[in-house]
Amino acid sequence: MFSKEEIRAIAGAFDLKGDYLGFAPVITGHINNTLRLDYTDNGAPKRYILQNINTTVFRDPEVLMQNVSRTTAFVYDKLQQRGGAENRCLVCYPTKTGKTYYTDEQGRVWRVYNFIENSVSYDLLSDETLFYKAAKGFGEYANLLSDFPMDALGETIPDFHHTAKRYQTFLAAVEENAAGRRDTCRPEIDFVTARADVTHAITDLLENGSLPLRVTHNDTKLNNILFDRDTNEPVCVVDLDTVMPGSCLYDFGDAIRAGASTAAEDEEDVSKVHLDLGLFAAYVKGFLEAAGDALTPLEIELLPLGAKVITFECGMRFLTDYLQGDVYFRTAYPTHNLVRCRTQFALVADMERRWDELQRIVREAQNR
């Protein structure tokens, strides 16, 4: 996809230590193009992460990189005070002209981070202890940013988790039928419209002040936290493009959506897709241990709703993109977004069936 010459030239625009050796693509993630850069610094191997920012999704790279550079510097300083930031957080490397990102001749936007060494990310897991640790890792990240000034953050994607507005966008996509696919997804469209009330369940409470806004990550899917390869301890939260004011219910929920499913996000056989209650309980435990004291009683009570609403929202976003002709998420084949949408709706349906159990798990974890 990218030639050796162009990546060498782009890497050369950044102020990086060592001599460039080559690059390798990192294939997870639906939004940005991520590459590992290999350098040698006085004979020692040195690596970086180079990302081509998706400017269809992030329309204002200036605001985006301002958020990212401010929050990464803030987290770095706090971790230094707490014993060390090395390999524990993202650090932005500037260009040779001192900018936080580089725009190439074709107008593509690039940034460089430190490469988190000896780490691994998971798209799916079944180990409850590991998932509990993911909750602690995301929880620690939320704590580190809990006193970051909210008004210093721009909105990188306006109304990113405004589920009610996303529903309006979905209805418009159905109406417009831009890709001519409407008749191939009638059951999925009906699944959404039958649940129109779900779409404003959280946004109403945010808007009337019943739920607080917090500095949240907004994309806490499992592969956005890196674990140490040897110890399996969480080491670093990545994918910081959507750090903005939001609801912790969405951060809790997105981690459940992605990490407590028994099957991959793009599993074609939906009979394999369930919510694993053991994983759900493990995450609830870790989340309450990490953040419980800061949460309001209503936030805790509504954790299952957070999981359901974000899973529903994500499925609706995949379906919207399918209807619009795959203009947002990276896809590998024409029905990829439809397949993803079906797994999300299977999860929502499973949550609905097991609603009482989800609430009981939260109540019991809270009383412990």
Q: Is residue 251 at the binding interface for Mg ion, with CB under 5 A as the rule?
A: no
Q: How far apart, in whole angstroms, are the C-alpha atoms of residue 308 and residue 302?
A: 10
Site string for ligand GN1, 8-47 (x = CB under 6 A): ---------------------xxx----------------
- Using alpha carbons only, what angle is made at residue 163 by residues 277 and 72, rounded to the nearest 5 degrees? 80
List 239, 266, 313, 350, residue binding Mg ion (CB under 5 A): 239
User: Per DSSP, what are the bridge partners of residue 23?
Assistant: 37
Residues 14-43 contacting Mg ion, CB under 5 A: 29
List 114, 242, 261, 320, residue binding ligand GN1 (CB under 6 A): 242
Site string for Mg ion, 171-210 (x = CB under 5 A): ----------------------------------------
User: Per DSSP, what are the bridge partners of residue 52?
Assistant: 33, 110
The candidate with the shortest Cα–Cα distance to 23, out of 281, 13, 188, 5, is 5
Backbone angles phi, psi at 41, to 5 degrees: -120, 105
List 143, 184, 223, 359, residue binding ligand ADP (CB under 6 A): 223
List 52, 224, 311, 331, residue binding ligand GN1 (CB under 6 A): 224
Contact 251, 216 (CB under 8 A): yes
What residues have CB less than 8 Å from 147, skipping those under 6 apart?
A: none
Stretch that binds ligand ADP, among 25-33, 199-207, 248-256, 353-361 (CB under 6 A): 25-33
- Using alpha carbons only, what angle is made at residue 351 by residues 266 and 294, rounded to the nearest 5 degrees? 100
User: Per DSSP, what are the bridge partners of residue 53?
Assistant: 109
Q: How far apart, in whole angstroms, are the C-alpha atoms of residue 9 and residue 3?
A: 10
List 90, 248, 339, 346, residue binding ligand ADP (CB under 6 A): 90
List 314, 346, 351, 362, residue binding ligand GN1 (CB under 6 A): 314
Q: How far apart, in whole angstroms, are the C-alpha atoms of residue 258 and residue 326?
A: 21
Binding site for ligand GN1 (CB under 6 A): 29-31, 57, 219, 221, 224, 239, 241-242, 254, 265, 314
Binding site for ligand ADP (CB under 6 A): 26, 28-32, 34, 49, 90, 113-116, 119, 121, 223-224, 226, 238-239
